[in-house]
Chain A
Amino acid sequence: MELVIYIRCFKGIVLREALRFIHQKERFFSALVRPLVWLGIFAAGFRSVLGVAIIPPYETYIPYEVYIAPGLIAMIQLFNGMQSSLSMVYDREMGSMKTMLVSPIPRWFLLISKLLAGVFVSILQVYAFLIIASLWDIIPPISGYFTILPALIVSGLMLGSLGMFLSSAIKQLENFAGVMNFVIFPMFFASSALYPLWKIEETSEWLYYFCFYNPFTYAVECIRFSLYSQINIEYTIGILIFTLIFLFLSILGYDPARGNLQKKAGK
Chain B
Amino acid sequence: MTVALEIKNVSHKFGEFLALNDVSLNILPGDFTVLLGLNGAGKTTLYSLITRLYNNNSGSIKIYGFDVRENSVNALKNIGVVFQQPTLDLDLSVKENLNYHSSLHGISFAEANNRIDSEIGRIKLEDKIKSKVRALSGGQRRRVEIARSLIHRPKLLLLDEPTVGLDIGSRQMILKHVKSLCKKDNLAVLWATHLIDEIDKGEKVIIIDKGKVLESGDVSMIVRKTKTKNIRDAFNKLVGI
Q: Do A and B bind each other?
A: yes
Give A contacts to B, CB under 8 Å: 1-2, 4-6, 8-9, 11-13, 15-16, 19-20, 23-24, 93-96, 98-106, 110, 256-257, 259, 261-263, 265-267
Beta-carbon nearest neighbor of A24 in chain B: B91
Give B contacts to A, CB under 8 Å: 13-15, 17, 19, 45, 48, 51-55, 72-77, 79, 81, 83-89, 91-92, 96, 99-109
Which residues on A sit within 8 Å (CB–CB) of B84? Answer: 95
Determine whether the beta carbon of A12 is less than 8 Å from that of B72: no
Determine whether the beta carbon of A99 is less than 8 Å from that of B87: yes
State whether A259 and B89 are in contact (beta carbons under 8 Å apart), knowing that A8-B107, A266-B15 are contacts in the complex. Answer: no
Determine whether the beta carbon of A8 is less than 8 Å from that of B51: no
A255 and B140 CA atoms in complex are apart in Å by: 33
Determine whether the beta carbon of B87 is less than 8 Å from that of A103: no
A11 and B109 CA atoms in complex are apart in Å by: 10
Which residues on B sit within 8 Å (CB–CB) of A4? Answer: 106
Determine whether the beta carbon of A257 is less than 8 Å from that of B54: yes
Beta-carbon nearest neighbor of B79 in chain A: A102
Determine whether the beta carbon of B53 is less than 8 Å from that of A95: no
Interface of chain A: mostly helix, strand, loop or mixed: helix
State whether A265 and B86 are in contact (beta carbons under 8 Å apart), knowing that A9-B104, A99-B104, A103-B105 are contacts in the complex. Answer: no
Which residues on A sit within 8 Å (CB–CB) of B86? Answer: 94-95
Determine whether the beta carbon of B73 is less than 8 Å from that of A104: yes
Determine whether the beta carbon of B83 is less than 8 Å from that of A95: yes
What 3 A-B pairs have minimum CB-CB distances, sorted nearest first? A12-B103, A266-B14, A5-B106
Which residues on B sit within 8 Å (CB–CB) of A19? Answer: 92, 96
- Nearest-Cβ distance from residue A251 to partner chain B, whole angstroms: 15
Determine whether the beta carbon of B14 is less than 8 Å from that of A94: no
State whether A102 and B81 are in contact (beta carbons under 8 Å apart), knowing that A8-B106, A8-B108 are contacts in the complex. Answer: yes
Determine whether the beta carbon of A266 is less than 8 Å from that of B17: yes
A267 and B105 CA atoms in complex are apart in Å by: 31
Which residues on B sit within 8 Å (CB–CB) of A12? Answer: 99-100, 102-104
A218 and B12 CA atoms in complex are apart in Å by: 43
Determine whether the beta carbon of A94 is less than 8 Å from that of B87: yes
Q: Can you offer 23 A-B residue contacts whose CB atoms are under 8 A?
A: A1-B106, A4-B106, A8-B103, A8-B109, A9-B103, A11-B103, A12-B103, A15-B103, A19-B92, A20-B91, A23-B92, A94-B87, A95-B83, A95-B86, A95-B87, A96-B89, A104-B77, A105-B73, A105-B105, A106-B73, A257-B54, A265-B14, A267-B14
- Nearest-Cβ distance from residue A111 to partner chain B, whole angstroms: 13
Which residues on B sit within 8 Å (CB–CB) of A263? Answer: 14
Which residues on A sit within 8 Å (CB–CB) of B100? Answer: 12-13, 15-16
- Nearest-Cβ distance from residue B175 to partner chain A, whole angstroms: 21
- Nearest-Cβ distance from residue B227 to partner chain A, whole angstroms: 37
Which has the most chain B C-beta neighbours within 10 Å: A96, A106, A263?
A: A96
Which residues on B sit within 8 Å (CB–CB) of A257? Answer: 54-55
Which residues on A sit within 8 Å (CB–CB) of B101? Answer: 99
A101 and B54 CA atoms in complex are apart in Å by: 10
Beta-carbon nearest neighbor of B99 in chain A: A12
Determine whether the beta carbon of B104 is less than 8 Å from that of A103: yes
- Nearest-Cβ distance from residue A94 to partner chain B, whole angstroms: 6
Which residues on A sit within 8 Å (CB–CB) of B88? Answer: 96
| Contacts A2-B106, A95-B84, A265-B45 known; 13 new A-B pairs at CB < 8 A | A8-B106, A12-B99, A23-B91, A95-B86, A99-B87, A100-B104, A103-B76, A110-B104, A256-B52, A257-B55, A261-B54, A265-B48, A266-B15
Which residues on B sit within 8 Å (CB–CB) of A13? Answer: 100, 103-104
Determine whether the beta carbon of B104 is less than 8 Å from that of A105: yes
State whether A256 and B106 are in contact (beta carbons under 8 Å apart), knowing that A12-B100, A98-B83, A265-B45 are contacts in the complex. Answer: no
- Nearest-Cβ distance from residue B29 to partner chain A, whole angstroms: 19
